[in-house]
């Protein structure tokens, strides 16, 4: 085929503009930093958008449009969402021979009286959806709106069986637990990162939220809940993800509800040897922790816990130096907690350490939580009906943290 000089010029500009256009993917790590394709540091300052509960559809759509919710996130200056999903959704797609429609999902989770009522509100607010829209298409739509508004998507596998997370007896606690089928888990991760490769703004994925001791299964708890089992499964899943989507960062969460990664940072101990350079994709590995020391009485105690839990990865010279993201922390938004010890501490400490974060939680209410429909979330940034912030004072304070993080 003959290419004119003119078309070559157009092709040339196409290459240049795609290399320099947001989101400047892929992200890579270098030591403790995350860089975009231009070599600039990237730090997440974002919010959790839950989608892994019983309905397995991201929350809030019966009250607001996707566009208005994303605009709200953008108005805070945030650059990322941690979008959670349940493996059961993918099981339904693959084993059930097609995704469940949004309409069927509401009927199943909320019953045939309330289900259609909530579903119709979802359609009123989001008229681009219809009777044939499936759950995973809602994920596509959220990602597309985030792309439009230049917000990164970080996927998080929150649960195997859709439901409120997390307890040690919910059957989702550990590899091999009642609902935590390891094969289906890896298949689900593979499915979502393959799908997300088309979004353009899927930058990373958390392999599993809050691994914890499966207390109601003594055998599993005693023989399997340990670092060697963690390493076997997390490394295997990371390889599946990287093979399916080599561009995205892969977040490794720790034990005890993702509050410790100490042996991983040290690289040795607790029965494991972990070396990022043993991976064929060492520049895709990121660590994530959660922190809910909400009753701490001093910032120094929070800081020292974070360092020993895994923030030492930022400065270690003998262990694995990796980026760290605090993918969950949060507090009641309906009182003065935003100016208490815990929130004030993280508001200053995380930006000072150049650590990314996603606060729990965007939701003003949940479709259903632990059996209660239209459950009010007092930790939610939004009010019950997702129309305004729950507390403008708390939001002002959070907005300053976003600015400090991205400064
Ligand atoms: C990333 O930010 C840190 C801290 O400000 C700085 O030391 C480092 O040089 C930056 N890296 C790049 C590639 O900008
Ligand atoms: C505990 O977990 C193991 C591993 O998945 C399973 O084979 C066993 O049936 C479980 N035991 C109980 C009592 O649930
Ligand atoms: C990982 O392996 C490299 C290359 O062998 C070595 O230089 C480094 O010290 C190891 N790191 C850890 C944490 O063991
Ligand atoms: C949303 O809730 C607020 C109070 O929380 C109320 O004032 C407002 O009328 C509600 N809006 C809708 C559309 O329900």
Residue 5: pLDDT band (50, 70, 90) is very low
Residue 9: pLDDT band (50, 70, 90) is very low
Average pLDDT over residues 349-354: 98
Identify which of 81, 76, 55, 53 has the alpha carbon closest to the alpha carbon of residue 66.
81
The model's pLDDT over 301-312, given as tens digits with 9 standing for 90+, comes to 999 999 999 999
The DSSP code sequence of 293-318 is -TT-S-HHHHHHHHHHHTGGGGT-SS
Alpha-carbon gap, residue 23 to 141, rounded angstroms: 17
Q: What integer pLDDT is reported at residue 19 of this predicted model?
A: 52
> Does residue 1 belong to any structural domain of this protein?
no
Average pLDDT over residues 133-145: 98
Q: What integer pLDDT is reported at residue 2 of this predicted model?
A: 43
Residue 327: pLDDT band (50, 70, 90) is very high
The model's pLDDT over 46-82, given as tens digits with 9 standing for 90+, comes to 999 999 999 999 999 999 999 999 999 999 999 999 9
CA 306 vs CA 108, 235, 258, 311, 325: distances in Å:
41, 24, 11, 6, 11
> Does residue 95 belong to any structural domain of this protein?
yes
> Does residue 104 belong to any structural domain of this protein?
yes
Identify which of 235, 142, 126 has the alpha carbon closest to the alpha carbon of residue 189.
235
> Does residue 337 belong to any structural domain of this protein?
yes
Average pLDDT in the chain: 95
Q: What integer pLDDT is reported at residue 97 of this predicted model?
A: 85
Alpha-carbon gap, residue 90 to 184, rounded angstroms: 9
- Are the C-beta atoms of 248 and 284 separated by less than 8 Å? yes
Spell 141-153 as b/e; 16+ CB within 10 A means b.
bbbbbbbeeebbb
Residue 98: pLDDT band (50, 70, 90) is confident
Q: What integer pLDDT is reported at residue 20 of this predicted model?
A: 67
Alpha-carbon gap, residue 220 to 87, rounded angstroms: 21
Average pLDDT over residues 368-386: 98
> Does residue 2 belong to any structural domain of this protein?
no
Residue 163: pLDDT band (50, 70, 90) is very high
Residue 354 near ligand 1, beta carbon < 6 Å: yes
Number of domains observed in the structure of the chain:
1
Average pLDDT over residues 309-321: 98
Ligand nearest to the Cα of 182, by number: 2
Alpha-carbon gap, residue 162 to 209, rounded angstroms: 13
- Are the C-beta atoms of 226 and 176 separated by less than 8 Å? no
Strand 272-273 and strand 268-269: the pairing is: antiparallel
Alpha-carbon gap, residue 122 to 119, rounded angstroms: 5
> Does residue 377 belong to any structural domain of this protein?
yes
Residue 219 near ligand 2, beta carbon < 6 Å: yes
- Flag whether the pTM goes above 0.85: yes
SS (H, E, C) 178-244: CCCCHHHHHHHHHHHHHHHCCCCCEEEEECCCCCCCCCCCHHHHHHCCCHHHHHHHHHHHHHHHHHH
Average pLDDT over residues 316-339: 98
Pocket test of ligand 3: the residue of 274, 277, 313 to mutate, having most ligand atoms within 8 Å of its CB, is: 277
Residue 6: pLDDT band (50, 70, 90) is very low
> Does residue 324 belong to any structural domain of this protein?
yes
Which residue lies with its CA nearest to atom 4 of ligand 1? Answer: 354
Residue 176 near ligand 2, beta carbon < 6 Å: yes
Residue 273 near ligand 3, beta carbon < 6 Å: no
What CATH number corresponds to the domain at position 354?
Answer: 3.20.20.80
Work out which ligand 3 atom sits closest to the CA atom of 276: 1
Q: Is the pLDDT of residue 299 over 90?
A: yes
Pocket test of ligand 1: the residue of 31, 33, 42, 351 to mutate, having most ligand atoms within 8 Å of its CB, is: 33
Pocket test of ligand 2: the residue of 176, 180, 183, 218 to mutate, having most ligand atoms within 8 Å of its CB, is: 176
* Residue scoring higher pLDDT (17 or 188): 188
Backbone angles phi and psi of 338, in degrees to 5: -60, -20
For residue 35, the CA-to-ligand 1 centroid distance in Å is 9
Q: In which residue are the tokens 């009522």 written? A: 117
Q: Look up the domain containing 243 and give its range.
A: 7-406
Ligand nearest to the Cα of 222, by number: 2
């Amino acid at each position: 085929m003959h290419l004119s000089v003119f078309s070559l010029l157009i092709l040339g500009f196409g290459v240049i503009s795609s290399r320099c256009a947001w989101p400047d993917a892929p992200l890579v790590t270098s030591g403790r930093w995350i860089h975009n394709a231009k070599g600039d540091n990237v730090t997440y300052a974002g919010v959790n958008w839950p989608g892994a509960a019983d309905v397995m559809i991201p929350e809030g759509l019966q009250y607001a449009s996707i566009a208005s919710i994303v605009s709200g996130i953008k108005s805070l200056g945030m650059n990322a969402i941690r979008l959670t999903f349940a493996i059961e959704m993918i099981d339904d797609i693959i084993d059930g021979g097609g995704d469940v429609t949004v309409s069927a999902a509401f009927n199943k989770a909320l019953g045939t009286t309330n289900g259609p009522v909530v579903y119709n509100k979802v359609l009123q607010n989001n008229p681009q959806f219809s009777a044939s829209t499936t759950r995973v298409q809602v994920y596509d739509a959220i990602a597309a709106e985030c792309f439009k508004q230049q917000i990164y998507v970080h996927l998080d596998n929150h649960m195997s069986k859709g439901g409120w997370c997390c307890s040690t007896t919910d059957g989702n606690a550990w590899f091999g637990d009642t609902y935590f089928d390891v094969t289906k888990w890896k298949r689900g991760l593979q499915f979502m990162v393959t799908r997300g490769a088309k979004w353009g703004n899927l930058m990373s994925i958390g392999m599993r939220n809050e691994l914890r001791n499966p207390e109601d299964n003594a055998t599993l708890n005693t023989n399997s809940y340990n670092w060697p089992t963690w390493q076997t499964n997390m490394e295997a899943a990371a390889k599946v993800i990287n093979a399916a989507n080599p561009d995205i960062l892969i977040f490794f969460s720790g034990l005890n509800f993702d509050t410790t990664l100490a042996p991983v940072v040290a690289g040795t101990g607790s029965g494991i040897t972990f070396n990022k350079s043993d991976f064929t994709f060492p520049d895709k590995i990121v660590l994530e922790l959660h922190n809910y020391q909400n009753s701490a009485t001093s910032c120094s105690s929070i800081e020292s816990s974070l360092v020993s839990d895994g923030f030492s990865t930022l400065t270690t010279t003998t262990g694995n130096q990796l980026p760290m993201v605090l993918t969950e922390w949060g507090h009641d938004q309906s009182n003065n907690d935003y100016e208490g010890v815990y929130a004030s501490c993280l508001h200053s400490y995380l930006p000072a350490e150049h650590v990314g974060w996603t606060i729990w939680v965007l939701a003003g209410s949940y479709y259903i939580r632990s059996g209660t429909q239209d459950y009010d979330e007092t930790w939610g940034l939004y009010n019950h009906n997702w129309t305004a912030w729950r507390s403008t004072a708390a939001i002002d304070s959070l907005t300053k943290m976003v600015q400090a993080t991205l400064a």
